[in-house]
Structure 1
Amino acid sequence: MSLKEKLLHQINHTSKQVSQNLKDAETAKLGEQDLELYKKTIHYLSKLEAQLPDALSQNHFDLFHKNVIAFGSFYSLSLAGQEMSEDFAKQLKTEIIAKRDSIISHLEKSEFNLNLFSMLGFFNGNIVAVGANGSGKTSLSEKLRQYLPSSGVVISAQKLLIIPVFQGISNFEQTSAKLLQLQKVTKNFKTSYNADGNATDAVPAVGFEFMRLLNNLLAERSAIGNKYLNEIRAGGTVGEIPQTRLDQTLKIWNSLIEHRQMDCEDGINLIVRAPEGIYPVFEMSDGEKVMLYLIAQVLQAPKDGFIIVDEPEMFLHKTVLNKLWDALETARQDCIFVYLTHDLDFASSRTTASKVWIRSFTHPDHWEIESLPETGMPEPLLMELLGSRKNILFCEGKKGSNDVRIYELLFPNMTVMPVDSCGDVINYTKAFNKIPDIATKAFGIIDSDHYGAERLSALSPYKIHPLPVAEIENLFLDESFLSSMAPRIMKGAEEIAGIKAGVIEKLEKDLEMQVAHYVSAKINYYFNNSHVSKGNDISEVDTNYKEFTRQVDINKWAEERRTELKKIVADRDYAKALSVYNNKGLKSVVEKHFRITDFFDRSIGMLQFEDGAKVILMKNFPTGAFV
């Protein structure tokens, strides 16, 4: 019998039991409020039966089987075919009143779990959940802690990394019970305390957590070791020394850090051996401590359970982050890991995990969670964009470049996303805006050199607009922008006229090189964005290829561009020159006439701190294009 069949059998058994008990309750004339509990339970069981997937994991089976069994225990009193009596009716009412709050709480928990795991598709593997700040990731982790009390462990982002010194070994049964109790308690810093008191008093669960984790590991190791020795003393066979979870903890920690080895020589306190000497674990760095903390948490999670990790990257260096979680996933293959993270590199590193998107969160406990939409965009890029609460602006460039810096200052209310090519800007903008029911929008800015007016006009409805200048830095050569800067450095109209003339002269000097660069770029664009039509035989392929290459008319393109540039020079059309002249060295013309050496930095400063400068430059873009 499969896990699903076993669970269905239990659901049917419990449904019949609750349905019969509902008839008894109606005969006993229980109040409508209590009768509603029976009906809601039957409805939940029916919904669970309908939504169960064919391939049910052991983890999900254990969780929902416990839920169903619990419902059966709540409605245990039955007439069993006997006649209704006044005493039985009173007894039934008394039982329901006594269990009412527990039933309501269990219904709430069961409904939440079913809704959540249905949204996640009853995943059989690990999950990475991404979402914007404020999308309720931490709230979700706390809700899971509340509703998976015996089926999982939630590892909070908030940790108090203080390691105690132990004076002796505790009783293992007691430490296990205390750890289990602690795993069910909310651990966050959303609280306060009297200023005359102690901050740690406000968060005892966080303060005691490391102690409980280590105390249980030490107690378990002592208990297993004592049992092993007692068996030998009693004449048992000397076999392999049993490995404990503390041994496994030490093995994983030691595999991650070179030139350091953690040990527990006295059986009570952990030490670290390093080239510089031996020191107690409470003197470790935060990164070393959090590794020990996470290993201890994961290895002591319930069997076949869920391990929910809020911000798994916290305190960890990039060099050990992936190695640690790879090792822990390997050690706990019986568990399903659910990562709630801001770190998109880490999210992408979980190659076998399903990626989901927390679309929205309504306080206190309603989430919309979906699989990542199919867009054709690279997964890391899509996850980053879905984590943004701002509209998206796609542009050509690299992160950290001057181009991106300018866009970020011009569009502070947007998430600027540089991509490799003009084609990527177009494709990703269109793809993102096709995601249904999304609160944010995507816009694109492209180089207009290779598009005619008709093509640019066709892209406008897709929120894709041309850059008004050949280089984004050319915006700083806008005449009005220069006029705003000039008085600050004791310069005026004469110097600005010199800049304009200097740009035209430089364009005239570079004219043939500009023509060559334009034609080269146009050829590359054509080959990157076009393709040879498919042929049914070699002859047809040859014909299609010749037609494809015939479209590349180098001399024609060069002459058209040469004519355009010569006209700009002849007309002394400064604004038009800025729109076609690709030369990041034009700032040298400004610096020569303004007699400064830091034109770009000054321009950035004006754009960053003066709204008027931003207004001047934004006039170059179509009105209302980015709203």
Structure 2
Amino acid sequence: MSSDSNSCEPQNTETWEIPHISGRSLPINLQANDCLFIVGPNGAGKSALIQYLVPKEEERSNFRRISAHRYSAIDPATLDVSAQRREDIGQQNIEHERYPDAQWRDYNSHFLAATALFDLVAKESSRARTLAGYLPHELEEAARQALKTRAPFGQLNELLSHGTLSITLELSVKGLVQAKQRASRDTYNVAQMSDGERNAAIIGATVLTVDPGTVLLIDEPERHLHRSIIVPFLSALFAQRSDCIFIVSTHELALPAAIPEAKVLTVRSCAWTNNQVSAWDIDLLEPNVGIPEDVRLSILGSRQKILFVEGEPTGLDLPIYHALFPGISVEARGSRDDVIRAVKGVRGSQELHHVEAFGLIDNDGMGEDNIASLSEDGVFALDDYSVESLYYSNASLDALARRQAETLGEEDPQNLKCSALQAALCELRRENGLAQKMAAKRSVLSVRNKIESQIPGREAIQCNEHPTIEVSIESPYQEELSKFKRHLDASEFDELVARYPLRHSHAFDAIARKLKFRSKADYQSALVTRIQSCDSLAEKLRGRIGKLTCALRDPL
């Protein structure tokens, strides 16, 4: 391996020459903000390849590995680490990473959590000292710096929220790192976190605190994190450290699919010499190139169904659909058209694989004919307007009101829910022009869908002798306005959230406040967590997308 510099300063470019079983070498060049996924079946040599990428030069210290076999339990006795001990462990890790057995053995593994948390506290303290050092007349500059350099604990907690984890970490007045459920005021020892929470926190703290220019080697993160967590969590984490290089070995194909700008190194097999892997059968795929079907099938095994949904990996769609369909691989594909293309692409090549694709899109006021036509191709529309109708449905509000009442012990859950609904309805009534805005947004989509349904096909255009093409549509605006006002006057919130884009109002914020959440993001994260633990709630919400649920349950 080589780079553009041999100094200990952050490297601009990293270059490897990887031995190929054909006898040639495959060059790989990565720069800051690049991500490389290494995918392949078990036994293909992925972990050995990760070990090969670690530099052998003693002066190179800008590499950090997070191993699949890492020890994740937190021993409270190891959390009190001195600065000197932390420095010693860091130097030892740099040396140990070069050992041949490092691909299966962790040195200093019991101190993994302690060093990650030590670095997080150190970075938080350094930021606080910098801001405190400003003189009174420099407060404006201090405020600018505070906005420019976000608090590390705040960054980590935001990442955990992206991963649909309901936990936060905070620094106590005594300088101890404590864990806390988002909906609770009570803190507890970080050693009591669940396995998934611990690993997400350790990975997040490690990545957030490394120096710029660091190459991060992450080996099979799905061993410790559920795929409903790993895709949004790592996608958000990579975005936080655009000054680093990420190399991730994984079986989870949803990861490279969620980051289309990443490169993918497919590993089919490897060759051995003297009990060590000496070469690999590999191919490098540039960004936006699909993974070859033979590699995909060797990895997926019995996972036969995949669900494409709208939105981005860090949006609302992916977490809730992961929770509702835990046995299905779920991928976010952007717009409605992107979802339709993805489903048609997979279904159009079924003779090459045994994966069946489905799509779920927002209703957005589509006509019945269009919905029926898409469902024949495996793409289903929500019965309601958008995914928010699931997050803020009557069943969801019931479940979280009960949970908050039990957790906080403050009041009757029905009163808590009624208070939240009344606050949301008050927001809808108070905002000037909101009814008109909601009716207009709904009408625009309805008109657009009707126009698209009336666009003549190629043959009709060729046969048309008239110079103009006319499309006549009655405006639905007045009818929509009347419907909105009627539902609002009747306090029918469930009907309103099912039909209109209430995300453009403050109704959801009001619900979160009245249910004692800090923000609507915390409310949404808590709902996903509740779905994962409450089968009755999950079944009620799946009932709102019944046709898709039935299709996914049908045997192939």
TM-score by length of 1: 0.40
Higher strand share: 2
Higher Cα Rg: structure 1 or 2?
Answer: 1
Structure with bigger RCO (C-alpha 8 Å, 6+ apart): 2
With the length of structure 2 as denominator, give the TM-score of the two structures: 0.44
